[in-house]
Amino acid sequence: MGPFPYFPLAFTKDGTIADQSQFGAVISAAASTVPASAITDLIVISHGWNNDMPEAEALYTSIFIQAGAVLQQQNPACDAVRTRRVAVVGILWPSKKFDDASLIPGGAAAMSDGTAEAMQAVELLSQFLDAPDAAQALARAKVLVPQLSDSIDARDEFGRLLRAFMPHDANDEEPVIDPSLFTLSGDELLRRLSRPVRGGDVGPTSGGAGTFGGGAASMGTASSSGGAAGFGDWFGKVADGARSLANLVTYYQMKNRAGAIGQGGVREVLERIREDRPATGPNALAIHLAGHSFGCRLVTAAAAGPDGAAPLPVNSLVLFQAAFSHYGFALDYDGTHD
């Protein structure tokens, strides 16, 4: 990619290496200490959500063509860098984003009753989970969507089906999900998630998904205009609540997957590289981690490792538009947790 040797490294949704030949190529290249060709710096980069492999590699190609062009500039600051022998490992992991129709004011969702958009959001969740039990349950949920405005039983069943796939450890890092999400009736759950997000409620879970973020204060019963939402308003927005619930579950499933892949398979690869090439000494290898969006969660999880593990010695960490909590680097952010 540009002037740099490139090694793809694909992972399954469970964090295992998809192709052992790719693993072998990475380890062989990183382990070589032949003076004329030994790699001095290994850049490990991860894409974020909604990238398939060709899209991720197109992103990596663009970045490293640009980097190669900068290195050719006659700038004294580049002199030391030009003497380094750099290789790139491109992490490829199965990522999908939630339906973003609800993030576009005046978009398609505003021109319909939202049923089609809600069904699409459920389908995206099913594709992301890619499991037989999820496919069966979410196929049933899609069938229920057109019935939601007319049937409280349909709303209750829909709520049960979708929140079964909400990770129950979503609050382990910080308390952002109101616990009542897991206990409310489906009718009340969709009612609360149907409300439009206020102007200040933006972030990775905006577009309805943020309704359950930030604690009980965001679970109120007032509409965005400040008054109580009437039944007519509610039945017109029930599909919005369904879409928001699907988006919310997809977001946290994706968050978990990025963390699991980073903490699992990627961490194991980097530890294996460190066995051959430590961070210091005559055979030292500089490791640089970079990520975009949920790829930032992936590479930080790889650096941190599983609970109780020592952090991986890395030389730099570059995060583009990181999709994780602003408390991610805080000490004692709530009086108890780092």
**Could you tell me the pLDDT band of residue 178, with boundaries at 50, 70 and 90?**
confident
pLDDT digits (tens, 9 = 90+) for 17-70: 999 999 999 999 999 988 878 999 999 999 998 888 999 999 999 999 999 998
Proportion of the chain above pLDDT 90, given as a percent: 57
Three-state SS sequence of the chain:
CCCCCEEEEEECCCCCECCHHHHHHHHHHHHCCCCCCCCCEEEEEECCCCCCHHHHHHHHHHHHHHHHHHHCCCCHHHHHHHCCCEEEEEEECCCCCCCCHHHCCCCHHHHCCCHHHHHHHHHHHHHHHCCHHHHHHHHHHHHHHHHCCCCHHHHHHHHHHHHCCCCCCCCCCCCCCCHHHHCCCHHHHHHHHCCCCCCCCCCCCCCCHHHHCCCHHHHCCECCCCCECCHHHHHHHHHHHHHHHHHHHHHHHHHHHHHHHHHHHHHHHHHHHHHHCCCCCCCCCEEEEEEECHHHHHHHHHHHCCCCCCCCCCCEEEEECCCCCCCCCCCCCCCCCC
| Mean pLDDT, the chain, integer | 83
Q: Is the pLDDT of residue 152 over 90?
A: yes
**Could you tell me the pLDDT band of residue 154, with boundaries at 50, 70 and 90?**
very high
